[in-house]
Amino acid sequence: MQAALEKLPGVKEARVSFKKTQAVVVYDSTKVSIADMAAAVKKAGYGVKGNTVPEAWHPSPKKTEKMAPKMSKKETTPFQALSAAQLKTQLKKKDFLLVNVHIPYAGELPETDFFVPFNQIKQNIDKFPKDKNAKIVVYCRGGHMSIIAAGTLAKLGYKNVYYLSGGMRAWTKAGNKLIMRK
Would you give per-residue pLDDT tens digits along the chain (182 residues)?
A: 556 666 777 776 666 555 445 566 666 666 666 667 777 766 666 666 544 444 344 433 333 334 445 554 444 557 899 999 999 999 999 999 999 999 998 999 999 999 999 999 999 999 999 999 999 999 999 988 999 999 999 999 999 999 999 999 999 999 999 999 86
Assess if residue 52 is contained within a domain: yes
Residues 56 and 91 in one domain: no
Assess if residue 56 is contained within a domain: yes
Write the DSSP symbol of residue 122. G
Say how far apart CA 53 and CA 120 lie, in whole Å: 18
Residues 27 and 61 in one domain: yes
pTM metric for this prediction:
0.62
CA 99 to each of CA 24, 142, 165: distance values in angstroms, whole numbers, following the listed order: 21, 14, 14
CB 148 within 8 A of CB 64: yes
Range of 52's domain?
Answer: 2-67
Bridge partners (DSSP) of residue 57 are 25
Q: How many domains does the chain have?
A: 2
Assess if residue 26 is contained within a domain: yes
Assess if residue 181 is contained within a domain: no
Residue 58 pLDDT: 40
